[in-house]
Structure 1
Amino acid sequence: MLDIQIDEQEARDLYLEKVEEKVKQIEADLVFWDTAELKRRTCMSWGTIQDQFFFDERFPKFKVGQKWYFPAQEAKDFLIQWIHEKGR
């Protein structure tokens, strides 16, 4: 027979730590991406991104100084639509 004892406070602390990590991850996703993040999310090189969809008028992009930024949710929505169109 097994007798398992769980430290409830330790379990609660671990649970809250993991929830906080996920919330931070979600919050980071909801703001914007830079070009490095866009390349990572699409698994494409910068040249491929430019050839495939960067200049599409529907693709949301903003240049701030010398850097491009992309609203995360809008970019995700566009990319899902774009890939469905390419798959036809």
Structure 2
Amino acid sequence: MLNIQIDEREVKQLYLEKLEERIKEIDIEMVFWDANELKRRTCMSWNTIQEKFFFDTRFPKHKIGGKWYFPADRTKKFLLDWLDEN
């Protein structure tokens, strides 16, 4: 007879580590965000984004045609700095 014991806390920890690794991989794949992704990442509406930081000269943004694009890495850095300042 075979008896297997599993440490549920260890399994949960391993699962969370692998999940975090995968999230980072997906995040790295994004080169830029569009306005919808910016709203999703900040949990802010477009009006709030415009009121709070969109027109800050340090905020990285590019308009191509009628659509706004935001370099993912630079935008994340700006948002973290902006949050610390406010």
Counterpart of 1:26 in structure 2 is 27
- Alignment identity in percent? 61
Inter-CA distance 42–65: structure 2 relative to 1 (3 Å threshold): same
Counterpart of 1:74 in structure 2 is 74
In 1, the alpha carbon distance for the partners of 2:3 and 2:76 equals 48
Q: CA RMSD in A?
A: 2.0
Instruction: Count the aligned residue pairs.
Output: 69
**What's the TM-score, normalizing by structure 2?**
0.71
Counterpart of 1:57 in structure 2 is 57
* Structure 1 residue runs without a partner (length 5+): 5-17
- For residues 33-81 of structure 1, give each alpha carbon's deviation from its aligned partner in whole angstroms, at most 9, with x where no partner exists: 0000000000000000000000000000000000000000000000000
Counterpart of 1:11 in structure 2 is none
* Structure 2 residue runs without a partner (length 5+): 5-17
Q: Structure 1: which 4+ aligned runs deviate by more than 2 Å? A: 1-4, 26-29
Q: 1:24, CA displacement in angstroms?
A: 5.7
**What's the TM-score, normalizing by structure 1?**
0.70
Q: 1:25, CA displacement in angstroms?
A: 1.1
